[in-house]
Amino acid sequence: MKPMEGNPFDFSPEMFSKVPLFAELAKAMSWSGGPINWDLAKQIASAMASADHVAPIIDSDRDDLRDAARLAEAWLSESAGFPAPPAVTRVMDLTPSQWVDRAVASFPELLNPLGGKLTGALAGDAESAEKNPLAGVMGQLMPLLLGVQVGSVLGSLSSSLLTGYDVALPLEEDGILPILVPHVDTHARLFALDRRDVRYWVTLHATAHRMLYEAFPWTRTHFWSLYHSYLAAIDVNLGETTERLQSLDISRPEELQSAVGENLFGLGDSGFAGPALDRLHVLLGLLEAAAGLAVSAAAGGRLLGAGEIAASVARARTDNDGVRSLERFIGLEVPALVEQRAVSFCGATLDAGGWVLLNQLWQDPQHLPTAEEFANPAAWIARVG
C-alpha cells in the first residue's frame, strides 16, 4: 500500500513493527485506563519522533534561550503592557521525542473528554448495536483505535512544532516554555534566515501566548469551561464510522494506517454549530490576534527581519499537517472569517486606545465582545473603554 500524498500519517507499515503492542494485540485491547489507550499512543508517537534525528543541544544554546525568554518578557511588558506571569520562567529545550513524553502527560486533559464522547456515541447507538458485530467488543476496540489516531497526531506534531505554544491552547504547566530547538534551527536554514534572530522571535511568540494564559489566568479557566460546554452540547453521529469499523481488519497495520489517515474519528466534519463553539472560536481568534500584534510591537526595532520571520512561520503553519489534524480531531478549526475579524477587532481597538484598552479584553470574561461587538469594535469600545 502506497503512502497517501500530503497525509501527515503517511508512515510506512514497517513503522508499526517498532510498536510492541501491535505484536500483542490482545494486550492492547485490554487497556482499562480510559477512553484512549495512551500507552499505545505514546509508542506510536515516539516511533515517529525517533525517526527525526537531531543534533544535541549545547550549553551555549541553553544560555541563549534563557536570555531570549528573559528579553521576551521584558519586551512584551514594555511594548504591549503585559504583566509578568507569577510563575518563574523555565525554558525547556526539547527534542521531538522529549516533546512526545511531555505531550502524553498534558494532552489527556484535552483529548480524554473527547474520547469519552466518541466512545459513548458509538457504543450507545442502539440501532448499530443490533446490526454491528463489533458492538460487543466496542469498549475494548475504541481505546485501541483512538490510541492509534492520537499517537499519529502527536507524532506528526512532534516533527513540525517549533514550540509547545504552536498548539495555541492552555496545555503547558505554568512557567514552562518548551522550545524544539532542532526544528527552529531547521526552519531558519530552510528559509535562509539568521538562526539567532529566529530563535529569539520564536521564543517571543511562545512567550506572548504564555503570558496571555498565565498573566491573565481567567483565560485558561474560561477556555476549559467553553471547551467542556462545547463537548457536552455536540451530538456526535458516527454512523459512517460504524460501517467502516465493521469491515476493518485491525490485525493489518496498513488498514489502521489508512483509517487514521482519513481521520476515522474526530469532530472536524460534524457540522456542529452552537454558542459555546462560537465563543471558543472568538476567544482563540482574539488570543492569536493579540499575541501576533504584541510580537510585532515587541520585535519592531529589536529583531532584524522580524516581519520576514513572521511571514515564514505563518507559511510553515499553513502547511503544518499535524496542527490541522489536531484541530480537525477536536473540532476547533477557527474559521478564516473569525480570524480576520479578530485581527480587525484588535487593530481597531489599538488605534482607539492603545494596549491599555486592548488589554481590557483580558481583565474579566465579561469584557469579551458579544457577537455584535465582535463585528463592530466601536460598540465594544463604547461599553468597555
pTM as predicted: 0.85
In a domain, 120, yes or no: yes
Q: Residue 5 has what pLDDT?
A: 45
In a domain, 14, yes or no: no
| Cell numbers for 198 | 529566529
In a domain, 81, yes or no: yes
d(CA 219, CA 314): 24
Q: Residue 199 has what pLDDT?
A: 96
Q: Residue 119 has what pLDDT?
A: 79
151: number of Cβ within 10 Å? 28
In a domain, 16, yes or no: no
In a domain, 18, yes or no: no
In a domain, 381, yes or no: no
| 229: containing domain | 24-334
Q: Residue 144 has what pLDDT?
A: 84
- The sign of the torsion formed by the CA atoms of 351, 282, 6, 94 equals positive
Tally of domains in the chain: 1
In a domain, 330, yes or no: yes
Per-residue pLDDT tens, the chain, 385 aa: give them.
333 345 544 545 555 555 554 555 556 566 677 889 999 999 999 999 986 667 777 788 889 999 999 999 999 999 999 999 999 999 999 999 999 999 999 999 999 999 988 877 766 654 555 555 555 556 567 888 889 889 999 999 999 999 999 998 999 999 999 999 999 999 999 999 999 999 999 999 999 999 999 999 899 999 999 999 999 888 776 655 666 565 666 556 566 555 555 555 666 555 566 888 999 999 999 999 999 999 999 998 899 899 999 999 999 988 888 888 898 888 888 999 999 999 999 999 999 999 999 999 999 999 999 999 999 999 999 999 8
In a domain, 351, yes or no: no
Q: Residue 33 has what pLDDT?
A: 75
Phi and psi, residue 228, nearest 5°: -70, -35
